[in-house]
Structure 1
């Protein structure tokens, strides 16, 4: 039998477990017959309705967290394009025949993406196994041994839920502290003489995937010059934030006395060699000379800056790229290149969270960035930065944090 001979709609409806198809907006696109049977709903009560409109949390249970946990799992699938199996969940369901009466129910959910032709997630398959009868004792129908085992399983399930909740709160606290540390160490937006700069940092979705990205703007000695840099530390959380702060501070100090960006990265690479956690960090730095209308740049394994000329021409500054920091046991002098600009041009530096997507060549992301910068080049840097982030970051947030600097030259 070939694919053409298979009625997949009938196959979907006949699946033995509970299966639903959700849109990226978490609206039910379809459910199978088993889903309707177990939930006690009719198709018109589910299909076309938002997930949490049909199945809200039990308002009588102040500790109910099923809706929050399920929403987090579904958003992870939408953001990462990866399957997400959830821990056992208690998720009470309102009795469809007795409004206001809630049934204690336990579920084992798993969520998986369905991709469209462009590689984007277009649906989420939400498969659920009800395990209520395995969790709670069944009264006289259970043997004594069965009741003991079921009670023990119930206890272990509640303990697992408690552990998951404590871990979630601990991760949330670490995320909050790391973000506060990151915000304290990164410079704010600024006016650079007659030139304006906009800076943005967007943390990743998830509990810990934050605080590896950084940026810096430094007034350079001699003439009307500015150093602009971005970098990315491997890892996340408090440790990444600490390494980020050390590298940013070191490059900031080095740039003020270095002859050029290549020398600044030479010194930073030697410093990274003695910083635990700085291995394979990437960074690109540019020295802008507003008097001579030149940009000198050097990159240690980082995506190239983008220079957008007033006429709409786009230039990737990719002629001075070298391996990441601490990639060589015996560092050698890093390359450096120069380019020119005219008044009104735009320079953008960013981290890979802005342009990299799973199952997509990075050139696609770079082309998307170039097009966005070109189309919006006439607006002020603050508006331009917001427009770029809106167009390039996924609606649910990226899985890697993102830093962006835009300077009007």
Structure 2
């Protein structure tokens, strides 16, 4: 039965056109998740500081939900502190990890914390500002083809830079990427230093989901709403970088066929729910208004028209509205900000109370947020590793069922039961 369910999810992503995707999504959303976490609602919300705004949520539980606490005793281990500004981490089938470092190096790291020399063959990256070597994933058939897919910021001469997707084959001796190709570029290029998005994920059909930023500046923000621009989007492409035929805007002359969803600011978290198969993301708001969204094909997620945040200098954004017909509400938002980066659903058995919970690396929040989701609603929030005072850049599940996280300061953490 489990294999049949997995095959049905794969086919939903593989062949359905946009209209059918919407129907399938509705069917999926009505499913009762088979594993629920009992939430003790007596705990106060974890956020106690005043918000940047007095904006009202669209529905109860959209922000400052009740707190939860992990009952299982945890063992937190720093495996290494010697990485250099790591950005993305993904497990290999043998239990090791591939880790990207922002300046442009790719390394192998063992569960004992041993770090390899830089893997050769990575293209030149533009590491100025928020750019660099970003998200990374291995091919689902890595054991057979050893293919690696990654996102990076790429210079485009006088035009500026952009978010690009590359692929290459990890050599048999693990020392280099071979036959490296750039398969996708999120145009137009722009002379900026911010908001590249940069996360990458395989869907069940074996296609790539990639996030792009809207490059932050007032001049580029409107492109998040522009269906002819690659900025501020989640795109769905095949392994050669071509748009997937079942994408929601396929066949339209007024839209790019690779676009899966739009109206995004700077998505740095992508994950598929382990039971429903739904795509979830986290994205940075401005000052306030960081978001957790459940992504549906073809939907508009509002930036910069609607937001629960304000400008960093304190002014309003646009018409200062939080709701508009035709634009999706976040499932959850944070004010003050968490600065949510990489995310992962917990699918292991070592800590049963975490089953299907979402874990979010917090940068300015300096903790990992545990989010309990039931029926597509947030039911509880917990802060983990808050005393470590780290900027948690990415989170992943290891093949051993433990959680792992990399921080801007170069640490690799293992989080497991005692």
**Higher RCO (C-alpha under 8 Å, 6+ residues apart):** 2
Fold match by TM threshold 0.5: no
Q: Which has the higher helix share?
A: 1
Normalising to structure 2: TM-score of the pair?
Answer: 0.29
Q: Which has the higher strand share?
A: 2
Q: Flag the structure with larger Rg.
A: 1
Given the two structures, how large is their TM-score scaled by the length of structure 1? 0.30
